Amino acid sequence: MADEPMTTSTPSESKSTLKLMSKSMYAKEAALRNLFLLCATAAVAGVALIFLFVGVRGWPIIQDPGLGAFLFGKVWSSSTDQFGILPLVTGTLVITIGALLLGAPLAVGTAVFLSEIASPRVRSVVRPAVELLAGVPSVVYGFFGLIILRPIIANLTGGLGFGPLTAAIILAVMIVPTIATLTEDALGSVVPGIREASYAMGATTWQTIYKVLLPAASVGIIDAIILGMGRAVGETMAVVMVAGNAPQFFQGLGEPVSTLTSQIVIDMSYASGTHRTALFGMAVILFLISMGLVALVRVISNRKKEG
């Protein structure tokens, strides 16, 4: 397709001889193609540059304090120069799991509703709402969580209301658009025949959804949830504003914790030396997690295509 010269066309009526594409024109076409290719490789260059520049700053963490002490150290304290990220990793994990537990059912439910139940009129309200939810800046979510949600949680759990519960609720809302949009796509690509077959057998709407559509779309839904998880792990500003930012292990839903992302934001402005290296090291780990999740989605989708 790409290099197919336009010379095989029949001669135009105005010219009597079959005129091939001129050399200069051919050169121009080839040059343009290469220019576009160059633009397309900008994405690859971006990934490489991020790895390189974030990686170079984070690399020395392997010598001091060593990879083991960095990954499995139980204390994060800049005053004593201890930079173990285990408490931050658990914080990220707890908040992400909480957000998925709350957000994934809500999102899948909304997607099923949009794809199977809603009348066109209802859909024309709900779908834009889901899309707008994706557009709200994370700092506004954080602000909302800080001012409205935090006092409510504080009444429930005691304390100030900063902690995993508040963060998980806010994150759950933030991952709904990601999961819902992708799940709706997955449901939309289920062949309509099996849906009709199910109804023809006398199944109710719910039986059709539960026994036919969800299994048929399961791979797409799992992909959607994995990508939602990626969003939750990487979300920064909203978490900083409600998690409490105390680098300690999970002690309860209402006790402040810190995550990989929020600790970077809090510390970056004043960190230096090993502290700074550790922050860049955390960024590398976050990058690897997010790329790993993307790769996982690819593997799952490819296996489905082959199977």
Partner 1 sequence: MNKRTANRLALSVLWLCAGTTVAVLGAVIIYVFVNGIGQLSPEFIFTWPHGVNAEGGIWPTIVSTLYVTGLAMLIVTPIGVLAAVFLAEYAVQGRLVRIIRFAADSLASVPSIIMGLFGLALFVETMHIGFSMISAALALSFLMLPIVMRTTEEAIRAVPKYIRWGSYGLGASKWQTVSRIVIPAAMPRILTGLILATGRAVGETAVVIFTMGQAINLPISPLDSGRPMTVHLYMLAMEGINLPAAYGTALLLMIMILFFNLTARWLLRRNRRMQG
Site residues (CB under 8 A) for partner 1, limited to 27-56: 28-29, 32-33, 35-37, 39-44, 46-47, 49-50, 53-54, 56
Q: Which of 69, 93, 97, 106 touches partner 1 (CB under 8 A)?
A: 106
Instruction: Give the span between the Cα atoms of 268 and 277, in whole angstroms.
Output: 10
Q: For residue 244, list its beta bridge partners.
A: 257
Select 67 or 140, whichever has its Cβ closest to partner 1: 140
Q: Which of residues 90 and 183 has its CB atom nearest to partner 1 in the complex?
A: 183
Q: Assign residue 22 a region: left if phi > 0, alpha if psi is -120 to 50, beta otherwise? A: beta
Q: Which of 184, 235, 255, 267 binds partner 1 (CB under 8 A)?
A: 235
Q: Which is nearer to partner 1, 82 or 301 (CB)?
A: 301
CA distances from 7 to 10, 13, 19, 20, 205 (A): 8, 15, 8, 5, 57
The answer to whether 139 contacts partner 1 (rule: CB under 8 A) is: yes
3-state secondary structure 242-279: HCECCCCCCCCCCCCECCHHHHHHHHHCCCCCHHHHHH
Using only C-alpha atoms, the chain has a radius of gyration, in whole angstroms, of 26
Candidates 146, 167, 186, 221: give the one binding partner 1 (CB under 8 A): 146
- Closest CB to partner 1 among 3 and 80? 3
Q: Cβ 198 to partner 1, closest distance in Å?
A: 13
Asked whether the CA dihedral 64, 66, 67, 70 is positive or negative, the reply is negative
Is position 142 an interface residue for partner 1 (rule: CB under 8 A)? yes
Cα 182 from Cα 198, distance rounded (Å): 24
How far apart CA 293 and CA 22 sit, in angstroms, is: 49
Using the rule CB under 8 A, which residue among 69, 71, 89, 136 binds partner 1?
136
- Residue whose CB is less far from partner 1, 13 or 63: 13
Rounded CA-CA distance 163/245 in Å is 8
Nearer to partner 1, 44 or 80 (CB): 44
Residue span binding partner 1 (CB under 8 A) among the ranges 76-84, 137-145, 217-225, 250-258: 137-145
- The pattern of x and - marking residues 192 through 231 that bind partner 1 according to CB under 8 A reads ------------xxxx-xx----------------x--xx
